[in-house]
């Protein structure tokens, strides 16, 4: 389960079975993550270069990178174990996706998500242009994602930060798949 507010990275190839050890090694080499908070859960503290690899938007944001005595929320990273089959992760704030062909906004998002949760792999057809493809082909507009593995950056509000090109390029090199991101917000 994804935490309440997160920036989530994922390969665009929804069937990419990324090696979790290779991802951890890459993220540690980049200094995106450092010591584990919970090794069994693949949860890590932010590394020394975290703030260069996640670009915060707006004026001087206040970003907490370590646990505090008060128990306030802080940024940390969790790698979700690769699944056998792709997962669709969405929240109640998921935007209506757009058709990748005609770019029309889909109006039956709830039904598509429910169908995905039931069948896991569904074909989708655009009623406007007859494009046919998988749910992963839809443009979820950074509000949902379909993949077999995810990197969750906790305590990031929607549109508060974006992954740097350097981070996305490094992930692409080790997986041979381009990566994208979305915001998960469940409040």
Reported as a single tens digit per residue, the pLDDT across 21-42 is 999 999 999 999 999 999 889 9
Reported as a single tens digit per residue, the pLDDT across 44-72 is 999 999 999 999 987 767 788 988 877 78
The residues facing 150 across adjacent strands are: 80
- Give this prediction's pTM: 0.91
* Closest to 75 in 3D by CA, of 88, 96, 56, 100: 56
By three-state DSSP, how is residue 102 classified?
coil
C-alpha distances in Å from residue 137, one per residue of 31, 74, 82, 164: 32, 33, 20, 23
**Mean local confidence (pLDDT), 152-156:** 94
CB 42 within 8 A of CB 74: no
Is residue 83's pLDDT more than 80? Answer: no
Q: Tell me, what's the pLDDT at 3?
A: 64
Q: What is the mean pLDDT of the chain?
A: 89
187: pLDDT confidence band, cut at 50, 70 and 90?
low
Reported as a single tens digit per residue, the pLDDT across 109-150 is 888 788 877 877 677 788 899 888 888 888 999 999 999 999
CB 75 within 8 A of CB 155: yes
- For the chain, helix (H) and strand (E) counts, in that order, are 4, 12
**Mean local confidence (pLDDT), 161-187:** 93
Following DSSP, what letter does each residue of 18-47 receive, concatenated? --HHHHHHHHHHTTSEEEEEEGGGTEEEE-
């Amino acid at each position: 389960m994804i935490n309440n507010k997160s920036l989530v990275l994922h390969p665009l190839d929804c069937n990419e079975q990324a090696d979790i050890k290779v991802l951890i090694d890459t993220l540690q080499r980049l200094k995106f993550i450092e010591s584990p908070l919970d090794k069994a859960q693949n949860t890590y503290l932010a590394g020394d270069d975290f703030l260069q690899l996640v670009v915060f938007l707006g004026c001087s944001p206040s970003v907490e990178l370590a646990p505090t005595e008060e128990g306030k929320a802080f940024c940390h990273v969790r790698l979700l174990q690769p699944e056998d089959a792709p997962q669709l992760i969405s929240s109640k704030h998921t935007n209506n996706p757009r058709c990748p062909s005609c770019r029309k906004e889909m109006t039956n998002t709830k039904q598509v998500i429910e169908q995905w949760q039931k069948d896991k792999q569904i074909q989708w057809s655009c009623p406007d242009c007859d494009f046919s493809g998988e749910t992963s082909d839809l443009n979820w507009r950074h509000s949902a994602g379909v993949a077999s593995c995810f990197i969750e950056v906790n305590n990031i509000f929607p549109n508060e930060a974006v992954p740097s090109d350097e981070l996305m390029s490094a992930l692409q090199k080790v997986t041979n798949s381009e990566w994208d991101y979305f915001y998960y917000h469940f409040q």
